[in-house]
Chain A
Amino acid sequence: MMNISLRLRRPSRMVDGKRMRMTSSFQRLLLTFILLYLMNQVNSQKRGAPRDLKCITNNLQVWDCSWKAPSGAGHGTIYEVCIESRSRSCYQSEKANAKIPALLPGDHEITINRLYDFGNPISKFTLNEKNVSLIPDTPEILNLSADFSTSTLHLKWNDRGSVFPRHLNVIWEVKILRKENTEIIKLVTHNTTVNGKDTVHHWSWASDMPLECTTHSVAIRCYVDDPHFSGRKEWSDWSPLKNISWSPDSQTKVFPQDKVILVGSDITFCCVTQEKVLSAQIGQTNCPLIHLDGENVAIKIHNISVSANSGTNVVFTTEDNIFGTVIFAGYPPDIPQKLNCETYDLKEIICTWNPGRPTALVGPRNTSYTLFESFSGKYVKFKRVEAPTNESYQLLFQMRPNQEIYNFTLNARNPLGRSESTILVNITEKVYPRIPTSIKVKDINSTAVILSWHLPGNFAKIKLLCQIEINKTNAVQELRNVTVRGVENSSYLVAVDQLNPYTVYTFRIRCSAETFWKWSKWSNEKKYLTTEAIPSKGPDTWREWSSDGKNLIIYWKPLPINEANGKILSYNVSCSLDEETQSLSEIPDPQHKAELQLDKNDYIISVVAKNSVGSSPPSKIASMEIPNDDLKVEQAVGMGNGILLTWNYDPSMTCDYVIKWCNSSRAEPCLMDWKKVPSNSTEAVIESDQFRPGVRYNFFLYGCRNQGYQLLRSIIGYIEELAPIVAPNFTVEDTSADSILVRWEDIPVEELRGFLRGYLFYFEKGERDTSKIRGLESGRSDIKVKNITDLSQKTLRIADLQGKTSYHLVLRAYTDGGMGPEKSMFVVTKENSVGLIIAILIPVAVAVIVGVVTSILCYRKREWIKETFYPDIPNPENCKALQFQKSVCEGNSALKTLEMNPCTPNNVEVLETRSAVPKIEDTEIISPVAERPEESSDAEPENHVVVSYCPPVIEEEIPNPGVDEAGGTSQVIYIDVQSMYQPQAKPEEEQESDPVGGAGYKPQMHLPITSTVEDLAADADLDKTAGYRPQANVNTWNLVSPDSPRSTDSNSEIVSFGSPCSINSRQFLIPPKDEDSPKSNGGGWSFTNFFQNKPND
């Protein structure tokens, strides 16, 4: 229109140049108006007719077509719908729809017109099946029920199949909602077919969540899948929702309860509660909560693990409580393994099996077993609720009469599943008899018995194979198999022969069916002693003449039990000579020898053993021996447990060889034992428990001819040689300066313990306490060894020795068993006299020569020697400083005051040389004398020894004016050598017994200055005092008074040198520098000292 209007405005501008074009535009506009008008007319006609025809069908038989009514159509309008075909059919309808029968495939012309409304056009439609929609009717749920224990919904509906003309596939869709219909948790399809009649369908669904947990709603719809229908097929509408809910009581509960599920499954637990749940856990594991309706919560467990016996606890915790449930996660029963059916007694079948993998379910959830026998239709059940799980699995099935083949099926079942195992058995081949009982033995004779036993069961239809085990002492076990026919009364007996008389047997029995399946267990043992029989052989006899040769002693051995055949009561001994037999005596059993007085005739001695049944055959032996002049004594050594004797075969020997033996140290008649060897033998091993190693035995081999024995060989031997137990006793016969002759004795046989093979003689230099020959076998080079293998040699001379030398001699014997102990001796060879003489004479001659030369020299130089070694000593009395009122030598008892006047000695010589270091003992001898003058007097004068002088050292000069004034003396303190170097404290006894007390010079020390009494005593002996007056520096020391205590006990017999009384005495004074030396010798030089004092080592 705008275009037109624009065109209408523009012509005024184009009037002049475009007249022709303006004319054509107008024509177009006119044509447009005309066209619009015509279209409006057509549309107005259409609005007056039915339009938009649509057809649907819900049963494929009737199409429900509807259309839009014309605008003018009001109430009461009747439509006529006609299907234009060969046979035109019309349907009238007051509504804008009409149900017409389903049309065949292809286009169909449908006319719809309003009746009684003639001015309106008829609507025509082309209708094809393709344009028709197939929409089934909305299905209706007949019933929705729930099994809460299994959390299963059961749905029931009607498919209304009768409305459909033919078989059709129908798809049903079921939806399940939770959480107040807000959450579709399951949408499943279910295919069915309709077959022309109404059918009620069932559908069940197990919820993963217990139905108690929340409300479950279910709706259903369907879809008809008709392949012949070419139109559009659509789902029906959803049916109305049907709800399933659990009506909870006021208590909080947890679901599912006590459920048994497979290990590894997923499971949902919920708690239906009014309280707020705080947490949930399975066992010890917390789980996230899933909130359901209200306060209800759930948890989901994936891959649940196996439960303990009491189940797995699932709990929900609220503020003040815990609610829970128990779940049992386990396994379905395993296939029963090792199913085995057998019978003990052919009355009852026992089937055993192994359950296989544990199910982890116990109590009421435990596996139950049913043993079903298909031929008889019988079954037995096995169910344990409270029994421990380690019980054996077995079922007993009573045997059916006349039925041998059984087909067993063992069914195992528990809440999680079932399994089975089958076995087909011929029960007569599966007999496992019980233990035979009531074993009894009854005699038949001495070598046979009847054995009876009881075997429970009815084995009348089969034969039994039984095994009898026969044991006797020291014999190999014997097994005998016997087959017996089965009996109903369970009593069986068999005869057992080939037994030995008077023998204890132990029997036991086991049985099986002849068609062997299993042996029964062994019965208890039954001991039985068979009856006696006569002894089968005579006793083994031997004879020995007594030492005086007048009596013959008959020995015999007790019969072995297998030959005695009973208890031997006695033995009969008889002798015969020239067909004349004389019974001598009956010897009761424990005795096994008899002594007979016989002359030198050759008697035949018989010995017979008797038991309660009878006598044995006689054993005979001749009393006399067949002489043998060619007899040698041999040696033999055994093998540790026995000894092997061999000899040459001698066909002349008609009866058994006899070897007898005895201990060689025993007196005659010597018989330990004997052994008989068959005449065809050439060797014998002699063994005996009585044999001991190291003991010498005599063995005698006798050959036998016509019951007469001849000694063939005499052998001495040892079972095992040992080393001698003692050493040979040896002595020294002769000794010279270079040799020793040794003699030894034989070792007694008992102590030799083997055949002597020789002696070993060792010798070396050495003294008794220092030399010991050790390691004789080690081959020391300083030990000389002589091996003496000549056993007849009893002496040995050892030559090439050194004179006057101690030698260590050792002798030992040896056997093949080893070396015996050693015996040793020390011998000193004699001195070589020529050498000794030479050794003495040469030193004597030298000494004489030296003495002569020295004497000559001394004589010639005597003046020089005198001046040099023995100058004149000035007289101390000439010294005013030492002037006493009276000479001490005069024995004046009054004390003399030492006047300290200047004194010039005539001649004092001081040697600078260090004196020889004295022994400590010397000084110690002196010390106590100085300290204990009164004790010195007790000393034995004879024990006094000369002691050296030690120059005193003035320790301290104590001025004592008072004393000086009173006594007119000055005090000088001397110290002896000992006091200079730690005087040793000596026990008083030692001091008293000290032989030097008071002898020789006594250093004055700590003298009691005012000891008047002592002084007096000293004065009394003054003339006897021979002590030296120390000469020294007068400024440093003062002469002790001659009446000092030491001087009092001076004995005139004491040899003293350098006495102040002796003007000829001369002393070497030791310089003061030596005073500190503890070894300084306090003694002066003298010849006596020279000889008496030991040189310092």
Chain B
Amino acid sequence: MFLLQSRASCRLRESPEEGKVFTEGMLMNEERGVVPLLLVLHWKHGAGSPLPITPVNATCATRHPCHSNLMNQIRNQLAQLNGSANALFILYYTAQGEPFPNNLDKLCGPNVTDFPPFHANGTEKTRLVELYRIIAYLGASLGNITRDQKVLNPNALSLHSKLNATADIMRGLLSNVLCRLCNKYHVAHVDVAYGPDTSGKDVFQKKKLGCQLLGKYKQVIAVVAQAF
């Protein structure tokens, strides 16, 4: 389902949603299909070292004016993600059945090797770039998890709902971070990497990778939310 590329390069400018400021719950239905498509196009199997950001002199323009209070929006979205991450994690591993809830350290430990780094003490620009990579990574992985769980647990509606809600917020956050990078720092291009595709893996691997990813997400989003 996801195309494999040796290295992913995401041209934010090309995104149909470029420059649009998202707030919580503002996402339109068609956006839900576009973002995964973009992620598909930039799929990279396994760890991918992000490429450097766009040179400063690169042109950067957003299609829509950015919200004046963008950083607050970003902070709120991060807080929202941070607030719901643990519940999503619990909902996920509970839906996977035993022995997941009782072996979280080995089955759901945040052992995601190629997860984009984040340095809380960096400059705002660096942090925003790193946040962009993290959210892009998480968004793609969340798409995989949502797809897998819809097949594996078609009746776990609350899990699906929470996964979708989280993905929605992430898309909004991604757009806001883009706006901020573009407007203030003139960054139009951030190389991103994505986690492993689970479509070809066996069910247990899907469950385990999803659980590890959500465990990592819960851990990272707390740090990121704190940093902003």
Contacts and interface: CB of A to CB of B under 8 A. Distances in A.
Nearest 9 A/B pairs, CB to CB: A326-B203, A257-B202, A363-B151, A322-B106, A324-B204, A386-B150, A283-B98, A284-B98, A326-B204
A322 B103 contact: yes
B204 A257 contact: yes
Interface string B92-109: 000111111011001100
Nearest to B203: A326
Interface stretch (A96-104, A305-313, A958-966): A305-313
Interface in A200-255: 254
B100 A313 contact: yes
B29 to A, nearest CB: 17
Contact of B154 (A254, A311, A313, A362): A362
A283 B101 CA distance: 11
A283 B97 contact: yes
A362 B152 CA distance: 7
Contacts of B202: 257-258, 325-326
A320 interface: yes
A389 interface: yes
A322 B105 CA distance: 10
A122 interface: no
B99 A310 contact: no
A364 interface: yes
A834 interface: no
Contacts of A308: 97
B153 A310 contact: yes
B5 to A, nearest CB: 23
Contacts of A387: 154
A389 B154 CA distance: 8
Contacts of A313: 96-100, 204, 207
B208 interface: yes
A259 to B, nearest CB: 10
A945 interface: no
Interface in B170-209: 202-204, 207-208
Interface of B: 95-100, 102-103, 106-107, 150-157, 202-204, 207-208
Given A257-B204, A313-B204, A321-B106, A364 B151 contact: yes
Nearest to B152: A310
B138 to A, nearest CB: 22
Contact of A325 (B103, B107, B157, B204): B204
B203 A386 contact: no
Interface string A268-300: 000000000000010110000000000000000
Interface string A513-550: 00000000000000000000000000000000000000
A310 B103 contact: no
A647 B157 CA distance: 80
B154 A309 contact: yes
B42 to A, nearest CB: 25
A309 B153 contact: yes
Given A326-B207, A364-B151, 11 more contacts: A257-B202, A309-B154, A310-B156, A311-B152, A313-B100, A322-B107, A326-B202, A386-B150, A387-B154, A388-B157, A389-B154
Contact of A311 (B97, B106, B107, B155): B97
B203 A257 contact: yes
B186 to A, nearest CB: 43
B97 A312 contact: yes
A849 interface: no
A658 interface: no
A10 to B, nearest CB: 98
Given A283-B97, A388-B155, A389-B155, A310 B207 contact: yes
A312 B153 CA distance: 12
B180 to A, nearest CB: 36
B93 to A, nearest CB: 11
Contacts of B155: 309, 362, 388-389
A364 to B, nearest CB: 6
Contact of A363 (B99, B102, B154): B154
Given A325-B202, A326-B203, A310 B96 contact: yes
A222 to B, nearest CB: 41
A310 B204 contact: no
Interface centre among B98, B150, B156 (most CB of A within 10 A): B98
Contacts of B156: 309-310
Nearest to B206: A326
A281 B152 contact: no
A317 interface: yes
Contacts of B153: 309-310, 362
24 contacts: A254-B204, A257-B204, A258-B202, A283-B98, A309-B153, A309-B156, A310-B156, A310-B207, A311-B152, A313-B100, A315-B103, A317-B103, A317-B106, A320-B106, A325-B203, A326-B202, A326-B207, A362-B153, A364-B151, A385-B151, A386-B150, A388-B155, A388-B157, A389-B155
A385 B203 CA distance: 15
Contacts of A320: 106
A271 to B, nearest CB: 12
A284 B102 contact: yes
A279 to B, nearest CB: 11
A313 B207 CA distance: 10
A972 B154 CA distance: 118
Contacts of B207: 310, 313, 326
Contacts of B99: 281, 283-284, 313, 315, 322
Contacts of B157: 388
Contacts of A321: 106
Interface string A339-369: 0000000000000000000000011100000
A281 B106 CA distance: 14
A309 B148 CA distance: 13
Contacts of B107: 315, 322
Nearest to A385: B151
A279 B203 CA distance: 21
A64 B204 CA distance: 62
Nearest to B102: A284
Contacts of A364: 151
Contacts of A258: 202-204
A385 B97 CA distance: 20
Nearest to B157: A388
A326 B203 CA distance: 6
A324 B205 CA distance: 8
B104 to A, nearest CB: 10
A370 B168 CA distance: 37
Nearest to B160: A386
Contacts of B100: 313
Nearest to A366: B154
B208 A324 contact: yes
A309 B152 contact: yes
A388 B98 contact: no
A758 B134 CA distance: 103
Nearest to A308: B97
B107 to A, nearest CB: 5
A385 B153 CA distance: 10
Nearest to A321: B106
A363 B152 contact: yes
Nearest to A320: B106
A310 B94 CA distance: 11
A367 to B, nearest CB: 13
Contacts of A363: 151-152, 154
Most buried by B among A310, A311, A386: A310
A263 to B, nearest CB: 16
Interface centre among B152, B202, B204 (most CB of A within 10 A): B204
Nearest to B100: A313
A311 B98 CA distance: 10
B120 to A, nearest CB: 29
A364 B150 CA distance: 10
Nearest to A363: B151
A1040 B180 CA distance: 119
User: Which of B155, B203, B207 has the largest number of chain A CB atoms within 10 A?
Assistant: B203
A763 B208 CA distance: 102
Given A363-B154, A386-B154, A310 B208 contact: no
